[in-house]
């Protein structure tokens, strides 16, 4: 198919040369990046040299990675923690601030792991907890392996730093030793929740995402080295995390599986770790400085894996993160089809040439089930759970289509109901304003002004540096455009028009099909344009 492209529209083609599945890798395991191969990275670099929008995107991604680049290697290595402190999904699920007394339920406590490490604060009065210097307490309890052991920690550090006098009645107010601050029989797990939502999601996983994407858009191996350092340190301890045994949710143990996070987030996080590893693989596989750094760290901390070569580092990451997840599927079992998406991604990252048939069988199975009820999974909640499976499937299909030529065409041939999957939320969208909110949608009788089959994300002037989510995830504007190209269904291009706030600068006819154009499209499709190949343009 001749994919013609218009630089000012939200319809892009990702045809690539040098498909990984065509290369003779001999089933010897991972030898190159699958989802961010060199051809794709070079295309992005060329586009970013020539296009102002792409340059701005690159600069924002680089700025997003800056905090980790300003840390020393020792500091980056020390970001990851062990499972010795009880983690909590909330500070207190239906609680209040112990300082001002105002309600602070569920996930409303504030955290910024990079700028205010080991602290959380009230959204009302801004009182900061824990009141003690927990970082000093934590550092005092690190064993030789760099893992916190509460038996080693200096408990003389457990006092309110603003009230150091032992006779002061507030000397112990707000103090958390990792197991929470207790007052009047109530427990606030400031550190337990911070470990998940602050240190893990923001500092560790956020760092891997930011650094790997900075490498992709710049080719600077310094970013890949930092990402590899952090990935390897996560691998040292990841297999030892077990949310069901080590964490609480709604103030109690509920046998909820997971790793650092509970099952639904653990599924997505493990997949992100696989994709981050894949993104930097080509750089770290030949980085002798990274091997020397990790070898020294292993010797310093008496680690079992001595990191004598990249093969040792690769084994550490692949066995203790990726294969461990495959061996403990219950820890990443999530809403359908997120788990098979994670499994297929992990297996493909580990050894695409050796597992291609197995991976395609997984994909075929989950797409059959995911489209089994009028093109969707059958899970109830049109603007909520009914849509979540479609949205994750769209990202999956778009990511594979970006890396493997002809992938989406092949999936549509093998699973024609994919057309119904993304038409479903067009047909059930009343006046482009309402979905029948039956089932678990989180709200009642409210307007839904956006098509829910995919999640459109705009690239605008606002900085992306505070985001944890990957910035270079495939553009859903591109994905819907690809669906339109392949199915000729005008509904998909209409969805693009509506998602573009009905802002149309012109129309272009190709093969009898109108494509929507807009002067604002640079802000909508930057992530897609970054990997756009050649092809003609028209107006």
DSSP characters for 419-449? HHHHHHHHHT-BTTTB----SS-SSSS----
Residue in the block written with tokens 């680690």? 303
CA–CA dist 49, 218 (Å, integer):
10
Q: Is residue 165 part of a domain?
A: yes
Q: Is residue 151 part of a domain?
A: yes
CA–CA dist 516, 499 (Å, integer):
11
Q: Is residue 31 part of a domain?
A: yes
118: left (phi over 0), alpha (psi -120 to 50) or beta: left
Residue 386 has a pLDDT of 84
Within 328-372, residue ranges assigned H as helices are 338-370
CA–CA dist 45, 409 (Å, integer):
27
Answer yes or no: do 131 and 201 share one domain. no
Domain count of the chain? 2
Residue 535 has a pLDDT of 31
Answer yes or no: do 221 and 346 share one domain. yes
Range of the domain at 209: 27-90+197-355
- Non-local CB neighbours of 98 within 8 Å, separated by 6+ positions: 127, 129, 173, 174, 181, 183, 188
Residue pair 267/342 in contact by the 8 Å Cβ criterion? yes
Q: Is residue 317 part of a domain?
A: yes
The three-state secondary structure class of 514 is: strand
Instruction: Work out the burial of residue 78: count CB atoms within 10 Å of its CB; fewer than 13 is exposed, 13-18 middle, 19 or more buried.
Output: middle
Give the phi and the psi of residue 148 in degrees, each rounded to 5.
-70, 130
CA–CA dist 32, 349 (Å, integer):
9
DSSP state of 199: I
CA–CA dist 308, 216 (Å, integer):
27
Answer yes or no: do 212 and 332 share one domain. yes
CA–CA dist 307, 281 (Å, integer):
16
Please report, for residues 241, 389, 453, the alpha-carbon distance to residue 395 in angstroms, rounded to integers and kept in the order given: 28, 10, 11
Residue pair 158/201 in contact by the 8 Å Cβ criterion? no
* CA neighbor of 527 nearest in space, from 399, 404, 410: 399
- Non-local CB neighbours of 397 within 8 Å, separated by 6+ positions: 407, 408, 411, 418, 479
Residue in the block written with tokens 């997840």? 325
Residue 378 has a pLDDT of 82
Q: Is residue 244 part of a domain?
A: yes
Answer yes or no: do 68 and 201 share one domain. yes
Residue 458 has a pLDDT of 65
Answer yes or no: do 221 and 277 share one domain. yes
Answer yes or no: do 203 and 331 share one domain. yes
Q: Is residue 466 part of a domain?
A: no
Answer yes or no: do 204 and 315 share one domain. yes
Answer yes or no: do 228 and 79 share one domain. yes
CA–CA dist 207, 225 (Å, integer):
12
Residue in the block written with tokens 């070898």? 295
Answer yes or no: do 66 and 203 share one domain. yes
* CA neighbor of 23 nearest in space, from 403, 328, 295, 286: 403
Rg (the chain; Cα; Å)? 24
Angle at 5 between CA 60 and CA 61, to 5 degrees: 10
- Non-local CB neighbours of 494 within 8 Å, separated by 6+ positions: 426
**How many helices (H) does the chain have, and how many strands (E)?**
20, 9
Answer yes or no: do 161 and 241 share one domain. no
* CA neighbor of 176 nearest in space, from 131, 111, 125: 131
Residue 50 has a pLDDT of 85
Q: What are the residue ranges in the chain where pLDDT is below 50? A: 1-27, 460-467, 505-525, 534-539
Please report, for residues 438, 450, 457, the alpha-carbon distance to residue 502 in angstroms, rounded to integers and kept in the order given: 28, 12, 16
The secondary structure element, H or E, covering residue 396 is helix 385-403
Residue 499 has a pLDDT of 85
Residue 288, CB-side half-sphere exposure with 13 Å CA sphere: 0
Beta partners for 434?
A: 430
Instruction: Work out the burial of residue 169: count CB atoms within 10 Å of its CB; fewer than 13 is exposed, 13-18 middle, 19 or more buried.
Output: exposed
The secondary structure element, H or E, covering residue 510 is strand 506-510
Answer yes or no: do 266 and 327 share one domain. yes
Choosing from 310, 327, 355, the residue where a domain stops is 355
CA–CA dist 190, 314 (Å, integer):
35
Choosing from 171, 188, 205, the residue where a domain stops is 188
Q: Is residue 224 part of a domain?
A: yes
Q: Is residue 368 part of a domain?
A: no
Kind of pairing between the strands at 128-129 and 120-121: antiparallel
Answer yes or no: do 332 and 226 share one domain. yes
Residue pair 380/386 in contact by the 8 Å Cβ criterion? yes
Choosing from 332, 355, 378, the residue where a domain stops is 355
CA–CA dist 190, 116 (Å, integer):
13
* CA neighbor of 336 nearest in space, from 304, 368, 312: 368
């Amino acid at each position: 198919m001749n994919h013609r492209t218009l630089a000012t529209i939200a319809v892009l083609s990702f045809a690539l040369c040098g498909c990984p599945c065509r290369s003779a890798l001999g089933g010897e395991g991972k030898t190159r990046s699958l989802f961010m191969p060199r051809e794709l990275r070079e295309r992005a670099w060329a586009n970013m040299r020539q296009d102002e929008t792409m340059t701005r995107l690159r600069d924002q991604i680089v700025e997003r990675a800056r905090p980790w680049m300003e840390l020393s290697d020792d500091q980056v290595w020390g970001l990851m923690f062990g499972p010795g402190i009880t983690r909590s999904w909330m500070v207190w699920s239906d609680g209040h601030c112990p300082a001002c007394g105002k309600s602070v339920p569920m996930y409303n406590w504030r955290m910024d792991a990079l700028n205010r490490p080991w602290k959380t604060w009230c959204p009302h009065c801004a009182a900061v907890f824990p009141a003690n210097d927990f970082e000093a307490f934590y550092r005092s309890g690190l064993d030789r392996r760099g893992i916190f052991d509460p038996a080693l920690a200096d408990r003389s550090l457990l006092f309110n730093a603003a009230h150091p006098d032992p006779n002061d009645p507030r000397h112990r107010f707000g103090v958390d030793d990792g197991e929470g601050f207790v007052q009047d029989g109530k427990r606030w797990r400031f550190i337990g929740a911070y470990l998940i939502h602050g240190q893990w999601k923001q500092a560790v996983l956020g760092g891997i995402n930011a650094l790997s994407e900075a490498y992709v858009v710049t080719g600077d191996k310094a970013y890949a080295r930092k990402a590899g350092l952090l990935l390897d340190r996560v691998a040292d301890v990841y297999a030892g995390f077990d949310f069901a045994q080590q964490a609480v949710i709604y103030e109690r143990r509920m046998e909820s599986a997971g790793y650092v996070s509970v099952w639904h987030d653990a599924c997505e996080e493990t997949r992100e770790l696989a994709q981050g590893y894949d993104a930097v693989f080509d750089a770290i596989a030949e980085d002798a400085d990274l091997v020397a750094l990790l070898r020294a760290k292993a010797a310093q901390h008496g680690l079992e894996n001595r990191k004598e070569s990249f093969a040792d580092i690769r084994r550490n990451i692949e066995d203790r993160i990726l294969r461990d997840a495959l061996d403990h599927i219950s820890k990443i079992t999530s809403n359908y089809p997120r788990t098979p998406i994670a499994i297929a991604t992990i297996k493909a990252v580990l050894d695409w040439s050796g597992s291609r048939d197995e991976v395609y069988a997984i994909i075929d199975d989950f797409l059959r089930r995911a489209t089994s009820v009028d093109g969707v999974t059958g899970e109830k909640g049109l603007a909520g759970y009914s849509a979540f499976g479609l949205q994750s499937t769209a990202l999956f299909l778009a990511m594979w289509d970006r890396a493997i030529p002809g992938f989406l065409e092949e999936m549509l041939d093998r699973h024609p109901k994919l057309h119904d999957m993304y038409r479903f939320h067009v047909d059930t969208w009343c006046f482009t304003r309402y979905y029948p909110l039956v089932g678990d949608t989180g709200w009642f009788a409210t307007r839904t002004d956006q098509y829910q089959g995919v999640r459109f994300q705009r690239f605008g002037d606002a900085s992306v540096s505070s985001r944890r989510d990957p910035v270079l995830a495939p553009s859903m504007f591109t994905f819907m455009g690809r669906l339109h190209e392949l199915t000729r269904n005008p509904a998909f291009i209409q969805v693009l028009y509506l998602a573009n706030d009905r802002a149309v600068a012109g129309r272009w006819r190709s093969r009898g099909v109108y494509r929507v154009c807009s002067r604002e499209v640079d802000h909508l499709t930057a992530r897609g344009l970054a990997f756009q190949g050649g092809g003609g343009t028209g107006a």
